[in-house]
Structure 1
Amino acid sequence: MATGLEGRRRQGAAFGWTGFDAELSDSLFAALEAMLAKGAVVHGWPDQTWTLAWIKTLIGWRFHKSLTLCGVSLML
């Protein structure tokens, strides 16, 4: 099974999610993982619970990428 960006592309393609802007490079995905590991409170949310909507917003703020909630779900 492919990992990293190629694995995410294959998984997304299986669900019809193929847009270039709807994916993060391996380095951006690693940065996202590090941000998520720090917790939601560090990024301004009221509790430690991450939601897809909050992750989508974080991706938009930090990486200037626009993803759908479904795209975020498939990426993770």
Structure 2
Amino acid sequence: ADVAALCVGTVGENVVLRRGIVFNGKNNQLLASYCHGQVNTTSTDTCRMGRYGALVNYSQIDPTKTNTSDV
């Protein structure tokens, strides 16, 4: 609620959270995110709010066991 209030003060518009999802990566997996049209660009430690977003779950492959020309 506090993050939404700060966002309203920044953009001057009402904010409605329509849905939320929690992602938990398995062992040796990482999550990366991108937010297009991000409102709070000054800090990476806060909730990212913007028009569109993407979340990628990935893991690193062992380069000694992979033919890099196939990647």
State TM-score, norm by structure 1.
Answer: 0.30
Indicate the structure whose relative CO is greater, using CA pairs within 8 Å and at least 6 residues apart. 1
Greater share of residues in strand: 2
Kindly name which structure, 1 or 2, has the bigger radius of gyration based on alpha carbons: 2
TM-score, normalised by the number of residues in structure 2:
0.31
Q: Which has the higher helix share?
A: 1
